[in-house]
């Protein structure tokens, strides 16, 4: 098992589990699997950042990764 820090922004925050700053997940879990496990619809996630760098949903998480998921952003 590894530990990650998960942050969900704006409309995704309702999917945030308790203790999201120190989540234990199986080693080599992909971001896509993480989203599935927590019921986060993949079509609602527009940007994935791992340790401040943009990644895709196939990225395999490592111990102490900081994960940020963002929905599409609108504005005007």
Please determine, for residue 73, whether its predicted confidence score (pLDDT) is greater than 80: no
Mean of pLDDT over the chain? 93
What is the band of 69 on the pLDDT scale with cuts at 50, 70, 90? very high
Strands 47-50, 23-25: pairing is unpaired
End-to-end CA distance of the chain: 43
pLDDT of residue 76: 56
Q: Using a pLDDT cut of 70, give the percent of the chain over it.
A: 96
Instruction: Set out the domains of the chain in order of their start, with CATH numbers.
Output: 2-70 (3.10.20.30)
Task: Output the 3-class SS for the chain.
Answer: CEEEEEEECHHHHHHCCCCHHHEEECCCCEHHHHHHHCCCCHHHCCEEEECCEEECCCCECCCCCEEEEECCCCCC
Global pTM value: 0.90
Instruction: Identify the band that residue 39 occupies on the pLDDT scale cut at 50, 70 and 90.
Output: very high
């Amino acid at each position: 098992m590894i530990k990650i820090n998960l942050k969900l922004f704006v409309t995704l925050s309702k999917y945030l589990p308790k203790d999201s700053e120190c989540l234990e997940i199986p080693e080599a879990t992909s971001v896509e699997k993480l989203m599935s496990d927590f019921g986060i619809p993949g079509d609602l996630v527009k940007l994935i950042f791992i340790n401040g760098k943009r990644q895709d949903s196939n990225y395999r998480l490592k111990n102490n990764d900081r994960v940020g998921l963002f929905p599409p952003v609108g504005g005007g």
